[in-house]
Structure 1
Amino acid sequence: MFELTDQIGQVHQFASTPKRIISLVPSQTETLFELGLEEQLMGITKFCVHPYHLRPTKIKIGGTKNVHVEKIKALNPDIIIANKEENTLEIVESLQGICPVWVTDVRSFDDALRMIKDFGELFNKRTDADKWVQKLQYAYKDFIRFVANRPERKAAYLIWREPYMAAGKDTFIDEMLTLNKFQNIYANRPGRYPEVEIRKMRIQGDPDIVFLSSEPYPFKEEHAFEIGRSTHHAKTVFVDGEMFSWHGVRLFKAFEYFKILHDRLGDE
């Protein structure tokens, strides 16, 4: 018997190491795989696209906002891995009668490291978890050195259209923007993902850069043109949303991606 506390303060007791895992979050599915838990993954969401070969081999249990409770129950899991932002309270509560629902809450780089360490404890993968934590800490320090002399620039990071929505404060995306020395012009707006009016963007913060994320909304060139007409001088840049919003082992690739992004943007 052992006891562990998840990132929202829930205390869980386990008679033995959980062997049958359901993952409700794509970035966490990828992390569990990298910790050597492919065989233990019983079910994943339809959005769990990394690594690609899991898609045809694992049972799909719905999306991150709409899960099939009966399908999950039939898989007889020992534990369900959820996330406070990605999965609703209603989803978590609907699953708690099946088995323990471990909820992560990742809003910073340190939160991401804690999540990986927790998985190491939960699934008896401490060595694998420690190796990933060390890799990420090294990549983080290397990136901080890289970005140290880069200019600070004001930015808006858009995630949705009709209505337009941006990443605000207290989000993992905002943490990534800050690490990159991009000042989030919507960091002081109420709400974590506030609705914004493009035509008012200049008076709301006048960004140097407007990032158009690849997910969850698939922005296209016509949207960049529409935004460009409203912001005038701001540079509109398409970015890989996974690199800004996927916490976990994806961060290792993200830091290299950010270096390339800075080189694309130049020093102006």
Structure 2
Amino acid sequence: MTSRRTVRRVVSLVPSLTEAVAATAPELLVGATDWCEHPPGLDVVRIGGTKNPDVRRIAALAPDVVLANEEENRAPDLDALRAAGLDVLVTEVRTLEQGFAELARALTEGCGLPSPGWLADARDAWRDVPALRPEVRAVVPVWRRPWMVLGRDTFAGDLLARLGVRHAYEGHAERYPRVPLDELTSCGADLVVLPDEPYRFARDDGPEAFPSLPAALVSGRHLTWYGPSLVGAPGVLGEGVRAAFG
């Protein structure tokens, strides 16, 4: 049997993965981005943003592994970290099952940890999850000014589909297309889903643009993060969608 690698210092460039490591072995984390807000009160060195990490500061922390994501982090920054002699593990997540697999890889292969109990709990939570029947069709903006929505092959889109919510642009050629508001409001959707990140949609910022549609204001962390939040995500997202229909 192959023994696990010994890892004592981890830097995370992804909020989801920061939370995952913190929930599993918090003593390993020595650095994280300015956007890594979970768990609250995380006391580690801040190394900049996901798109502009401070390579010198990261290298000075001498991590055994740097956790990254191909969508959230820029290739030139990851190349610079590798050029500095650091081991960079890059995740790629398009579906829930991919999320489970990449979490296991990051924690067990990357950090040398046993698979955590919360990951098994997350799998259980999404097994036989109650879904809306019949399915509803939704517009799912992730930004405004300009309006951008979920397109093809997105983790958030896969989660919503498992809850019985198919988003209107799942067949679009782009993953996060820019779509004019007049097209969004006339695409035949039954619902608009408004997460509070990356754009912070709120009751007074978002629903008014879709006056003819019920609006589901949902937790962006539960919709887009792959980590411990997946345990509660089916209940949180399902409640948000059902509340939109009264």
Q: Normalising by structure 1, what TM-score?
A: 0.84
- SS across alignment from 1:80: strand
Counterpart position of 1:102 = 89
Q: How far did 1:250 drift?
A: 1.2
Amino acid at match of 1:190: A
Task: State how 1:1-268 maps to structure 2 within 5 Å.
Answer: 16-36=5-25, 38-54=26-42, 57-98=43-84, 99-118=86-105, 119-126=107-114, 129-143=115-129, 146-147=130-131, 150-203=133-186, 205-229=187-211, 232=212, 234-266=213-245
Q: How far did 1:216 drift?
A: 1.2
Measured at CA, do residues 110 and 227 of structure 1 come closer, stay the same or move farther in structure 2, by a change above 3 Å? same
RMSD: 2.0
8 Å CA contact 2:216, 2:240 repeated in 1: no
Amino acid at match of 2:20: T
Identity level (%): 31
- Any idea what the Cα deviations from partners look like across 1:73-119, whole Å, max 9, x if unmatched? 11111111000111011111111123111000111111121122211
More helix by share: 1
Runs of 4 or more above 6 Å deviation: none
Once residues 10 and 27 of structure 2 are traced to their aligned partners in structure 1, the CA distance between those partners, rounded to angstroms, is 9
Matched length = 243
Q: Normalising by structure 2, what TM-score?
A: 0.91
Once residues 138 and 228 of structure 2 are traced to their aligned partners in structure 1, the CA distance between those partners, rounded to angstroms, is 25
Q: Which runs of 5+ in 1 are unaligned?
A: 4-13
Amino acid at match of 2:10: I
Q: How far did 1:121 drift?
A: 3.3
8 Å CA contact 1:17, 1:122 repeated in 2: no
Amino acid at match of 1:181: G
Measured at CA, do residues 135 and 197 of structure 1 come closer, stay the same or move farther in structure 2, by a change above 3 Å? same
- Any idea what the Cα deviations from partners look like across 1:106-151, whole Å, max 9, x if unmatched? 111111211222112333322xx152332122111142xx22x633
- Any idea what the Cα deviations from partners look like across 1:149-177, whole Å, max 9, x if unmatched? 63310101111111100011111111111
Bigger mean CA offset, 158-167 vs 133-142: 133-142
Q: How far did 1:221 drift?
A: 4.0
